[in-house]
A = this chain, B = another copy of it.
């Protein structure tokens, strides 16, 4: 589908992508983490896209197996949600991943 191609293009062309919802605290946490470590993430707020939001959320599920937000991609690779991202950060594995992409 065309939306699927859009997502693939987005995560390929942007080193850090967060599919988020503005009023979701888990989404806020992951956005705040990237901000705190100086990473300029591309944030797509699914609740601000009208009917395209739910469509995108289904496409993301098809592509990644994950329906929930936040949905995080680094270097085109699907990372997971808030818990996964924070876990990587605490294990010290997030920063090397970002350095490899020259974005930290």
Contact = CB atoms under 8 A, between A and B. Distances in A.
Interface of A: 23-26, 68, 82
A26 B26 CA distance: 8
A11 to B, nearest CB: 23
Contacts of A82: 25
A99 B87 CA distance: 34
Nearest to A83: B25
A26 B23 CA distance: 11
Contacts of A23: 68
A17 to B, nearest CB: 20
Interface centre among A23, A24, A25, A82 (most CB of B within 10 A): A25
